[in-house]
Structure 1
Amino acid sequence: MTMQKLISWTLPLVLLLIPCTFGAAQEEVGEKKAVKKQVISVYDVEADASADIAAALARAHKNNKRVLVVYGGNWCGWCVKLDEFFKKDRKVARTVRYEYEVVKVDIGRFDKNMSITEKYGAQLKKEGVPYITVLDGSGKVVANQNTGDLEEGDHHDSAKVETFLQAKKAPPQDAEKVLAGALEQAKKDGRKVLVHLGAPW
């Protein structure tokens, strides 16, 4: 086969493969973008919200904290803003860390985990998201809060949010009563008491 004939046979094949290669490259870029979006999602759409709340309540009961249930969705700009605010505002982040167990509940398009919102009396469909429910260690509702009241312009107001969180946190326990109760129970069970002194910070 002459060189001219070889070129005439191979050139169309090369040209045929170029669109395929370009298409594959576009598909790969699309996949990378999809992965990136998935990584920055605030709400876990696969989470078992009821189980997460139950686990948070157990920790809150043990550590004298409250549970902060935050309803929202990854499509909601204010929901993403609130999540970032809880992390970036130093005073608020400190309060959330030491006084609360946080559970983020994905509500889909107001068609998911609605049984949870009904259980705690959260008025999402009326007042929108993000929306907050505060529970005590026993699961009792302490407060339901429309976060629109905590906003100022295009952002969440640090003073308003901090005031709300401080007002709804668990009251400090009486150390003497806790110790007396532990000593009484230990006496009944024939056990000793380990006293741990510390602070949340």
Structure 2
Amino acid sequence: MRKIVFIMILALVTLLADAQTALKKVYDEKIDPMEQIDKALADAKVAQGKKFVMCQVGGNWCPWCLRFADFITNDSDIAKVVSDNYIYIHVNYDPRKSGGEQQAKAAKDLMKRLGNPQRFGFPVFVLLNTDGSVLHIQDSSFLEEGKGYNKEKVLRFFKAWTPLAVNGNA
């Protein structure tokens, strides 16, 4: 009996420790990703060409997606470049077949709208201009370093795709 209680306590302590170190889930699985993109595009238009829409496509099921979100949020240099130049959204992609035919079609339509970025793995970044056209798809593996991301590479990526840089004014 003591052994069982000990194992249960150990399991609980491990679970609590994991919960404290778990990364924040940033993908809202309840909203329609197409509507989310449309809203971000409308917000970008209000910014009068000063911002593009950056879609971080992935899901809460993807540890690398959550690591990236945490990384750019906690680095003030990167966070500033992002907030100054992008309407940044986390677009939930659910590739599971458990949602049935309708969910599978919605996921396929989403990927088509974004230029089929899933071929690069997740997270993948899709940059849209204010008209909703895909300007660039970024494979996140080129931004990785070890079990995280490289600050210089991430900053270079974001700075290279600002509206000023793309429009030739940087």
Extract unaligned runs of 5+ from structure 1: 1-28, 173-201
Partner of 2:44: 60
Partner of 1:42: 26
For the aligned residue pairs, the C-alpha RMSD in angstroms reads: 2.6
Q: Which residue identity does 1:43 align to in structure 2?
A: Y
Paired with 1:170 and 1:128, the residues of 2 have a C-alpha distance of 25
Identity of paired residues, percent? Answer: 28
Q: Is the 8 A contact 2:117 2:126 kept in 1?
A: no
Paired with 1:159 and 1:122, the residues of 2 have a C-alpha distance of 27
Q: Deviations over 1:97-134 (max 9, x none)?
A: 1110012111123656331221221331x321000100
Extract unaligned runs of 5+ from structure 2: 1-11, 97-103, 166-170
Please tell me whether Structure 1 or Structure 2 has the larger radius of gyration of its CA atoms. 1
Partner of 2:129: 136
Paired with 1:73 and 1:120, the residues of 2 have a C-alpha distance of 15
Paired with 1:66 and 1:136, the residues of 2 have a C-alpha distance of 5
TM-score normalised per structure 2: 0.73
Partner of 2:66: 80
Mean alpha-carbon deviation: is it higher for 136-145 or for 101-110?
Answer: 101-110
1:120 and 2:106 are equivalent in the alignment: no
TM-score normalised per structure 1: 0.63
Q: CA deviation at 1:71?
A: 0.7
Q: Which of 166, 171, 185 is 2:164 aligned to?
A: 171
Q: CA deviation at 1:93?
A: 0.5
SS in structure 1 opposite 2:163?
Answer: coil
Paired with 2:91 and 2:114, the residues of 1 have a C-alpha distance of 13
SS in structure 1 opposite 2:164?
Answer: coil
